[in-house]
């Protein structure tokens, strides 16, 4: 396992800037999640590290080695693609064995058998080993393609939304399993996702990308609780952070034009009068959709509360996040 460092990495496709001056250090054994909307450069970053794309400028260091100019095979990385790319002409077993049989690894057959069986066990696909790859369901295919990465012990694992095509239960199981494997191997892992729960539960570090630029890099808690900008704040949180003009509640530092309140950062019982529009009973909590002076606000309440639509409650922000006109945080 190894440390991965990106230095001033840039990549454009014609006019489109995909990755814009990204510098980041992924410590050895870290689980780094990249967040950002579609087109923010997450996948391109992975492809640059893997060597599938050539950077326009900047450097990539893996394990203290500048890998620019090296082929993907030489870089010793494993990658899980968003679309499961199993070799359709091979069986599941041969798919899993494929990286081990490569001219670079040339693993002995006994070792291949042992590793394939072990990984198949973890991913619950042992009974499918002799099937053709095309005979699997989508979820099974994706597990095999994760397995094809896990049979190796590369310098770094790169995963591009590997769990997005799985059903909820399997996603939860594999999330726990991936984290366990990563921990026990001490593996360095760079992981792209849209899923907040994946980011919060698995990551040791989160990097937020905006139009190719890395706008914040820190622990999941830092990103969630102490975002540098409105953009970063709105990447995490479900329901999303409520954004209101600064003058709705007042009492904010000078220069603040808007405030952000996470749903759990709203005090009920005093402050401004808001009307309940809709109540969602989620079991462990109630989700309240309110309007306050024409602004929609979402907050959560104890499941025992029984607000009805049309009811009025008083709310006030609890430590709101303050942002200037450009969306930058004012501390």
Sites for other proteins among residues 95-114 (CB under 8 A)? 98-99, 102-105
Using CB under 8 A as the criterion, what x/- string covers residues 44-83 for binding other proteins?
------xxx------------------xxx---xxx-x-x
Decide whether 81 or 224 has the Cβ nearer to other proteins.
81
Q: How far is the CB of 48 from other proteins (least distance, A)?
A: 13
Sheet of 242-245: strand order equals: 242-245, 258-261, 321-323, 329-330
Token output for 246:
């600064």
Distance CA 240, CA 237 (A): 5
User: Judging by beta carbons within 10 Å of its beta carbon (0-12, 13-18, 19+), is residue 29 exposed, middle or buried?
Assistant: middle
Decide whether 98 or 249 has the Cβ nearer to other proteins.
98
| Strand-pair category, 156-160 with 189-192 | parallel
Token output for 319:
């430590």
Q: How far is the CB of 94 from other proteins (least distance, A)?
A: 10
User: Judging by beta carbons within 10 Å of its beta carbon (0-12, 13-18, 19+), is residue 282 exposed, middle or buried?
Assistant: exposed
Sheet of 213-218: strand order equals: 77-80, 156-160, 189-192, 31-35, 205-210, 213-218
Q: How far is the CB of 265 from other proteins (least distance, A)?
A: 43
Q: How far is the CB of 89 from other proteins (least distance, A)?
A: 4
Which one of residues 37, 39, 88, 138 is an interface residue with other proteins (CB under 8 A)? 88
Sites for other proteins among residues 148-167 (CB under 8 A)? 148
Contact 259, 244 (CB under 8 A): yes
Decide whether 155 or 209 has the Cβ nearer to other proteins.
155
# of chain residues touching other proteins (CB under 8 A): 23
Q: How far is the CB of 125 from other proteins (least distance, A)?
A: 17
Decide whether 77 or 313 has the Cβ nearer to other proteins.
77
Decide whether 103 or 294 has the Cβ nearer to other proteins.
103
Q: How far is the CB of 206 from other proteins (least distance, A)?
A: 24
Distance CA 153, CA 188 (A): 10
Q: Tell me which residues touch other proteins (CB under 8 A).
A: 50-52, 71-73, 77-79, 81, 83, 85, 87-89, 98-99, 102-105, 145, 148
């Amino acid at each position: 396992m190894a440390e991965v460092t990106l230095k001033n990495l840039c990549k454009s496709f014609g006019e489109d800037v995909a990755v814009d001056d990204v510098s980041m250090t992924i410590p050895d054994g870290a689980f780094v999640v990249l967040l950002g909307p579609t087109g923010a450069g997450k996948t391109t970053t992975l492809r640059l590290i893997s060597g599938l794309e050539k950077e326009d400028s900047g450097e990539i260091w893996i394990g203290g080695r500048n890998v620019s100019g090296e082929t993907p095979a030489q870089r010793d990385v494993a990658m899980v693609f968003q679309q499961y790319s199993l070799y359709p002409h091979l069986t599941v077993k041969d798919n899993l064995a494929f990286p081990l049989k490569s001219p670079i690894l040339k693993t002995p057959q006994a070792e291949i058998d042992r590793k394939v069986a072990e990984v198949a066990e973890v991913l619950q696909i042992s009974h499918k080993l002799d099937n053709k790859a095309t005979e699997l369901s989508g979820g099974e295919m994706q597990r095999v393609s994760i397995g094809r990465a896990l049979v190796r012990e590369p310098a770094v694992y790169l995963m591009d939304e590997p769990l997005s095509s799985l059903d909820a239960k399997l996603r939860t199981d594999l999330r726990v399993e991936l984290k366990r494997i990563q921990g026990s191997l001490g593996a360095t892992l760079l992981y792209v996702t849209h899923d907040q729960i994946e980011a919060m539960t698995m990551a040791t570090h989160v990097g937020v990308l905006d139009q190719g630029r890395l706008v914040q890099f820190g622990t999941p808690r830092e990103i969630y609780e102490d975002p540098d900008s409105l953009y970063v704040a709105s990447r995490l949180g479900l329901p999303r952070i409520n954004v209101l003009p600064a003058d709705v509640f007042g009492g904010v530092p000078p220069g603040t034009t808007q405030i952000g309140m996470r749903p759990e950062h709203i005090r009920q019982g005093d402050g401004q009068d808001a009307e309940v529009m809709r109540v969602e009973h989620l079991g462990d909590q109630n989700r309240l959709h309110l309007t306050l002076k024409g602004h929609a606000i979402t907050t959560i309440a104890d499941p025992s509360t029984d607000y009805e639509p049309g009811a009025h409650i008083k709310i006030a922000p609890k430590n709101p996040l303050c942002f200037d006109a450009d969306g930058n945080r004012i501390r």
